[in-house]
Structure 1
Amino acid sequence: METSLSSVFRIVQLCSKLSGFVAYWSWQTPLAIREIGIKMKNLYGKALLTDPGLTKSTAFTREERERFGLRGLLPYEVASMHKQIERVLGSMRCKSSAIEKYIFLNALLERNQRLFYRTMIDHIEEIMPLVYTPTVGEACKKFAHIFRKPQGFYITPEDRGEIATILRNWPEEDIRVIVVTDGERILGLGDLGANGMGIPIGKVALYVACAGIHPAQCMPVMLDVGTNNVALREDPLYLGYPHPRIDAATYRALVDEFVQAVQLRYPHAVIQFEDFLTPHAFEFLERYNGQVRCFNDDIQGTAAVTLAGIYTSCRITGKQFADLNIMFLGTGSAASGTAELAVDAFVKAGLSNAEAQRRLWFIDRKGLITTANENIKPRIKPFIQAHAACSFAEAIDEIKPDVLIGATGVAGTFNEAIVRRMAAVNERPVIIALSNPTSHTECTAEQAYQWSDGRVIFASGSPFDPVRYGDTVFKPAQGNNAYIFPGIGLGVTASAARLVTQSMFLTAAEVLANTVTESEIRNGSVYPALTRVRDVSLAIAAAVCRVAMNEGLAESALPEDLNSYIRSLMYEPDY
């Protein structure tokens, strides 16, 4: 496979050079101009009014209503986008549950893209938890039951040998970001089969809102290879391939064909692998990472956002990063990916590779993982410590970790005894509970602050409301990958980097940590406010461009003023 994929990629690179002017003109020309010049002239009347990418609904002016055959099709008032947003928020806030709000927002996206994204950007702290975690977990579980209108692209085993052909059914030609899942490990919920499409759809929304990638250049993909979730297969409303998951050889062949087909159809696209089972996640990352533009968000995105939180915590504790001991509860892709990026960070801070690995400790359900353990996962072996076997609690007492990271998907694993032990060995214990959705988090923000007597530096994968402890109100930080992957994607597309490298994620973590203000730190947050996420993405994208240039990977000629250039590429959903 490596030979065939390399050949395909070399052909694509050659074709890209021959047609580079046309390809990059399409990226660099403002999309608003292209919409008016190409699409709108072909749409008239009802067709224009119902096109989700071009409609302005009641905001069409008198002149536009005359010109585009809309007279009589709209109420009298010409409503501003601001007034439309007020109406959206009023309707949404009347819904009694998060899932009802999710359904409402999804319907708005299907009806009026610009209004949806403007609302999301301007009210991101309220909207993001509804569009993505934690609500997306419930949405995925109920995906077939709340299905309204097709979104995204589905590939099944019956499409083998024809993936490149059927990709042409997707209406957009200039795709720059593809988010793909096979639905086998959705958040902490397990195998949800085709219901997992909610994840790529949600991630695409974050690319648009958080980094300004145009929605027409983003593509959610579901590799629907069956499900071993019997209850799903027996659900009469289930929409996926109603069979057990295909065998390993057929599965790998299908993924190979998909990656090759993307190189031919969308040669400038970056592929983001999302919510694959841990062994497959690492396998595909190693298989494709050196040949095509791709990364795994669960491994690399989570690692970067977690590392950024650790960097920021050092500004609070006064400790030097190079002196830290970090302990992980869990051995999956998030934990091992974070450990591997932390090694790079320690080495950059002056430690040897071996010294860096000795600063990282892993706990599983049996306790501390040591040289005496059997059946150790390959990615964990470099971090095995020559230490006597001991329980989780005993390991905290003996090792005295500065940072405790949970990536288990099991609620309550950071119980009161564990948190109090961390507080006993640290004046300011750092606890990061990565697992989501909220029902699967290792501990809640309130528990962390209460059990540490208000001394904890806390971050989590799911959002939590502010917590009052005594006279202090803490605003716990969410270690949301939306701080990382949108900026990575924007930087890779802006520079046309041939590959996505580990150094880009290390740089992204440093940039993210540096964006946290002193006032945010005083409020107990190790991440910037979500309201600044587009500026964070721009800063990360510029840093990624510099890495691409320094590593000789940038295929696009970049100006000296990277920030202004990248900002000019960012989609602004206005009328």
Structure 2
Amino acid sequence: MPSQDYEQDTSTRFGPLRIKARGRAVMSNPTTNRGTAFTIEERKALGLIGLVPSQVTNLENQVRRVYEQYTRTSTRLGKYLHLSGVRDRNEVLFYRLLTSNLEEMLPIVYTPTIGEAIERFSHEFSRPRGVFLSIDHPESMADAFRNFGLGPDEVDLVVVTDSEGILGIGDQGIGGIQIAVGKLSVYTAAAGIHPRRAIPVVLDVGTDNLGLLSSEMYLGERHARVRGEKYDEFLDLFVHTVREMFPNAMLHWEDFGTTNAHRMLTKYRDEICTFNDDIQGTAAVVLAAILAAVDVTGLVLDDHKVCVFGAGSAGVGIANLVRDAMLRTGASETEEEAYSRFYAIGINGLYVDDQPELLPFQRPYARRRAEVEHWAVADPNHITLEDVIRNAKPTILIGTSTRGGAFSRHIVEEMASYCARPIIFPLSNPTSRAEATPADLLTWTDGRALVATGSPFGPVDYDGIRYQIAQANNALIFPGLGLGVATCRAERVTEGMIAAAAEALASMVNAYRQGAPLLPTMSDLRMVSATVAVAVAKQAEREGLAREPLTDPIQQIYNRMWQPVYPPVEAI
């Protein structure tokens, strides 16, 4: 990476760090700083004598020290801010701490704590990290990227949000930069994407959050969210600027509003290498859990009926990928037959074809009014989840509604009455918004439910068996996908590559043992990411989209996985 302070080849895990800076400038840069781990020789060469304590320590002792500090912090937000401070001082130390405690710290640097950090962004602001692009100053966009200091061949990922649909908390304005930063932390910790080969971006298009607009502390543009033609022009300028300046980068869309998320993905997916984690990442990890669960039921995927409760961007994305899997592997011969296996429910109840409010991406899942006219329901114009369970008898129930407790005891017991092994995934985040808890689901089904959740839940003891609860966390998919794309320099991200990622993830579990989880645990994330990356890169090559030949995929993936260790230092 070109810099006035240092040089390093970030395309390989073995690149030495060649430092131009001297003295305090070395210590103030998180890339070059290693604090007390500088050797005496390095201190002399870099002008650090007297600027650090006399004792030379190693990275392991530094990790112990900052972990002790971390454990003394009592609140989740406090822990997040402590880790952010470590990253701002010493990048290698931060990632070594994170990767050594990934299962414990992932909920702090990512969901669910990242939601609180986003809400508090303007109040807790310290060191800016990322690129802030204002719709009021589109002419500054290229300059903003140039100021970030990366060249065309030095960027693998650009993670961007416009902050309209942040997690379950909605429009958060400029604070959404934190979700992009959090995603990139996971890309690095889980898949070894070099931290200097990724750019977090927030598109500041205003906000409709009146609490933010009325706060004197708010750091974003102070006007309502811009929509329509001006918004589209700004997005188009952004996409074309990224494509021109960073031609090898995958553009990762994050937490856009429902309408824009699908619209942007549809518009650009055949034009650039792009991926929407809320739609495709969620779908892939849920498909993997479904494939593992379906194996346990003894039925083929095509024999199942799927109810999606909360069929917005994420819900329809899941349905689309499961539908494609049915078409690829099942008995369904036509798309119409595959669509007939799904029941999509939104705010106005079951999607029915005479509902004018349905968006284009939702309409294929609408049932014909004639199909449901004979159903016994209280209100034909608002067919509820309970109505669908009682009349359609789905065997897979997916919750992406953010309605906490929506999967009631009555609904779950009804499902368990006709289904030997109901597959029930309450996926909404944070925990308070989960449609049901795993403990309740197992109790209400006598331990028969096959469960995956969106938020992390601890194991459940029921009838003498300890059930490990799978977390359908996108972190099981998107880091490996990004690594695979970067390694082979894929031209596009296709549905075939997404499906390959899901199938690779599903292949890593054995869910037949009673109580076993449907997905790998977060503690196996580096291995999971590498496995997914190999599958994605191979699929890209099969589809003719790999610009870098795969001569030895496993070794090539391994060589690209950056390790948080201090590289050799050369004073120049």
For residues 479 and 501 of structure 2, the distance between their equivalents in structure 1, rounded to whole angstroms, comes to 11
Provide the residue aligned with 2:247 in structure 1. 267
Paired letter, 2:186: L
Displacement of 1:447 after TM fit?
Answer: 2.5
3-state secondary structure, aligned to 2:49: coil
Paired letter, 1:61: T
Pair 1:459 & 2:452 matched: yes
Displacement of 1:172 after TM fit?
Answer: 2.4
Provide the residue aligned with 2:545 in structure 1. 553
Pair 1:294 & 2:274 matched: yes
Displacement of 1:161 after TM fit?
Answer: 2.8
Provide the residue aligned with 1:362 in structure 2. 344
For residues 439 and 430 of structure 1, the distance between their equivalents in structure 2, rounded to whole angstroms, comes to 21
Displacement of 1:228 after TM fit?
Answer: 0.6
For residues 280 and 234 of structure 1, the distance between their equivalents in structure 2, rounded to whole angstroms, comes to 26
Provide the residue aligned with 2:502 in structure 1. 509
3-state secondary structure, aligned to 2:95: helix
Displacement of 1:513 after TM fit?
Answer: 0.4
Pair 1:342 & 2:326 matched: no
Check conservation: 1:410, 1:442, Cα contact below 8 A. Answer: yes
For residues 233 and 278 of structure 1, the distance between their equivalents in structure 2, rounded to whole angstroms, comes to 22
Check conservation: 1:458, 1:524, Cα contact below 8 A. Answer: no
Paired letter, 1:368: L
Provide the residue aligned with 2:518 in structure 1. 526
For residues 373 and 424 of structure 1, the distance between their equivalents in structure 2, rounded to whole angstroms, comes to 31
For residues 329 and 190 of structure 1, the distance between their equivalents in structure 2, rounded to whole angstroms, comes to 19
Displacement of 1:321 after TM fit?
Answer: 1.5
Paired letter, 1:197: I
For residues 85 and 518 of structure 1, the distance between their equivalents in structure 2, rounded to whole angstroms, comes to 35
- CA change 1:218–1:100 in 2 (3 A) is same
Check conservation: 1:511, 1:539, Cα contact below 8 A. Answer: yes
> How much identity, in percent, do the aligned residues show?
38
Check conservation: 1:164, 1:264, Cα contact below 8 A. Answer: no
Paired letter, 2:349: G
3-state secondary structure, aligned to 2:319: helix
Check conservation: 2:301, 2:326, Cα contact below 8 A. Answer: yes
In the superposition, the TM-score normalised over structure 1's length comes to 0.91
Check conservation: 1:161, 1:257, Cα contact below 8 A. Answer: no
3-state secondary structure, aligned to 1:405: strand
For residues 92 and 313 of structure 1, the distance between their equivalents in structure 2, rounded to whole angstroms, comes to 37
Displacement of 1:103 after TM fit?
Answer: 0.8
Provide the residue aligned with 1:7 in structure 2. none
For residues 439 and 75 of structure 2, the distance between their equivalents in structure 1, rounded to whole angstroms, comes to 22
For residues 136 and 438 of structure 1, the distance between their equivalents in structure 2, rounded to whole angstroms, comes to 13
Alignment of 1:29-178 (within 5 A): 30-33=12-15, 35-37=16-18, 40=19, 42-173=20-151, 174-178=154-158
Residue by residue, what CA displacement relative to the aligned partner does 1:299-329 show, whole Å, maximum 9, x if unpaired?
1111111111100112322222121111100
Residue by residue, what CA displacement relative to the aligned partner does 1:17-70 show, whole Å, maximum 9, x if unpaired?
xxxxxxxx9664x2542x523xx1x02222222221122211222322233222
Pair 1:231 & 2:211 matched: yes
Check conservation: 2:77, 2:117, Cα contact below 8 A. Answer: yes
Q: Which runs of 5+ in 2 are unaligned?
A: 1-7, 374-379, 567-572
Check conservation: 1:163, 1:258, Cα contact below 8 A. Answer: yes
Paired letter, 1:497: A
Paired letter, 1:262: V
For residues 146 and 267 of structure 2, the distance between their equivalents in structure 1, rounded to whole angstroms, comes to 25
Check conservation: 1:371, 1:387, Cα contact below 8 A. Answer: no
Provide the residue aligned with 1:317 in structure 2. 297
In the superposition, the TM-score normalised over structure 2's length comes to 0.92
Residue by residue, what CA displacement relative to the aligned partner does 1:272-314 show, whole Å, maximum 9, x if unpaired?
0100011101111111110111111111111111111100112
Provide the residue aligned with 1:468 in structure 2. 461
Paired letter, 1:547: Q
Paired letter, 2:336: A
RMSD between aligned residues: 1.7
Paired letter, 1:333: S
For residues 92 and 445 of structure 1, the distance between their equivalents in structure 2, rounded to whole angstroms, comes to 29
For residues 405 and 522 of structure 1, the distance between their equivalents in structure 2, rounded to whole angstroms, comes to 22
Instruction: Single out whichever of 168-177 and 69-78 deviates more from structure 2.
Output: 69-78
Q: Which runs of 5+ in 1 are unaligned?
A: 1-24
1:536 to 528, 536, 552: 528
Provide the residue aligned with 1:16 in structure 2. none
Aligned length: 544
Pair 1:252 & 2:232 matched: yes
Check conservation: 2:282, 2:314, Cα contact below 8 A. Answer: yes
For residues 13 and 145 of structure 2, the distance between their equivalents in structure 1, rounded to whole angstroms, comes to 22
Alignment of 1:380-391 (within 5 A): 380-385=362-367, 386-388=371-373, 389=380, 390-391=383-384
Provide the residue aligned with 1:4 in structure 2. none
- CA change 1:362–1:50 in 2 (3 A) is same
Paired letter, 2:228: A
Check conservation: 1:290, 1:499, Cα contact below 8 A. Answer: yes
Alignment of 1:342-421 (within 5 A): 342-350=322-330, 351-352=332-333, 353-385=335-367, 386-388=371-373, 389=380, 390-421=383-414
For residues 97 and 466 of structure 1, the distance between their equivalents in structure 2, rounded to whole angstroms, comes to 23
Check conservation: 2:312, 2:346, Cα contact below 8 A. Answer: no
Q: Could you say which structure has the higher helix fraction?
A: 1
Check conservation: 1:504, 1:544, Cα contact below 8 A. Answer: yes
For residues 54 and 522 of structure 1, the distance between their equivalents in structure 2, rounded to whole angstroms, comes to 49
Paired letter, 1:376: L
Provide the residue aligned with 1:6 in structure 2. none
For residues 202 and 363 of structure 1, the distance between their equivalents in structure 2, rounded to whole angstroms, comes to 31
For residues 517 and 171 of structure 1, the distance between their equivalents in structure 2, rounded to whole angstroms, comes to 45
Displacement of 1:518 after TM fit?
Answer: 5.2
Pair 1:423 & 2:416 matched: yes
Paired letter, 1:335: G
3-state secondary structure, aligned to 1:231: helix
3-state secondary structure, aligned to 2:139: coil
Paired letter, 2:521: A
Displacement of 1:344 after TM fit?
Answer: 1.0
